[in-house]
Amino acid sequence: MLVCGVDEAGRGSMIGPLVVAGISIEKSKVDELTHLGVRDSKKLTPSARAYLYKKITDLVDDYAISKATPKAIDDSVARHQLNHLEAVHMAKVIKKLGPSVSYVDSCDVNPARFGKEITKMSKTGKIKSYHHADSKFVVVSAASIVAKVTRDRAIEKINKLYQVGSGYPSDDKTVKFVRDWFLAHGQMPVFVRKSWAPVRVILSG
């Protein structure tokens, strides 16, 4: 029986993609993830995440990644459909992995509603949707590590060309980069989410 865990990384960022990752693994092997030391990616150092990413992708039966671009995110925010966008990418990942049951980390205040939305789109096995699933289910913790490492790599790529920091609004370096770029160019680079409040403040000058 294939069990799937799905999570995202980068939802709150001003810069770069929203990354959704899913892993599928035989139910009999799930405990091996725990023995590896897999837990919620937010509780791990970047080096521990990178180490576990390799171990996870070697152990699981399959994994899948889907990314939402800043433009797709801005379009969804304009329609008040950011949760829907995340559900679309989660359904895409689940469909590709084809598990019997999937555990997903719900961004919706109503996890059952979020689960139903994914079920409708993926038409693949049972969907179990929970808040804080990344700290409740090791399969979701594993997916959170794959999502976070993938997202970090995308930001590293941008950082090789521009000094953007972590990409999050709480990072002064990120906010300074966005402000300085706008003052110099009069527009935002493609990797910046224009719908984010701190960016809108800069755009309104």
Whether the CB-CB separation of 85 and 76 falls below 8 Å is answered with: yes
Give the model's pLDDT for residue 116.
Answer: 98
Q: Tell whether the model's pLDDT for residue 135 goes beyond 90.
A: yes
Q: What pLDDT band is residue 1 in, cutting at 50, 70 and 90?
A: very high
In the predicted model, what is the mean pLDDT of the chain? 97
pTM, two decimal places? 0.96
- Are both 16 and 79 inside the same structural domain? yes
Q: What pLDDT band is residue 129 in, cutting at 50, 70 and 90?
A: very high
As a whole number, mean pLDDT of residues 91-99 equals 98
Give the model's pLDDT for residue 103.
Answer: 98
Residue range(s) defining the domain that contains residue 169:
160-204
- Are both 196 and 121 inside the same structural domain? no
Give the model's pLDDT for residue 94.
Answer: 98
- Are both 118 and 187 inside the same structural domain? no
Q: With 0-12 CB in 10 A as exposed, 13-18 as middle and 19+ as buried, what is 74?
A: middle
As a whole number, mean pLDDT of residues 127-153 equals 97
- Are both 57 and 101 inside the same structural domain? yes
pLDDT digits (tens, 9 = 90+) for 14-24: 999 999 999 99
Looking at the structure of the chain, the number of domains it has is 2
Give the model's pLDDT for residue 205.
Answer: 77
- Are both 44 and 95 inside the same structural domain? yes
- Are both 140 and 41 inside the same structural domain? yes
Q: What pLDDT band is residue 155 in, cutting at 50, 70 and 90?
A: very high
- Are both 94 and 141 inside the same structural domain? yes
Percent of the chain surpassing pLDDT 70? 100
Give the model's pLDDT for residue 64.
Answer: 98
Domain with 94 in it: what CATH number? 3.30.420.10
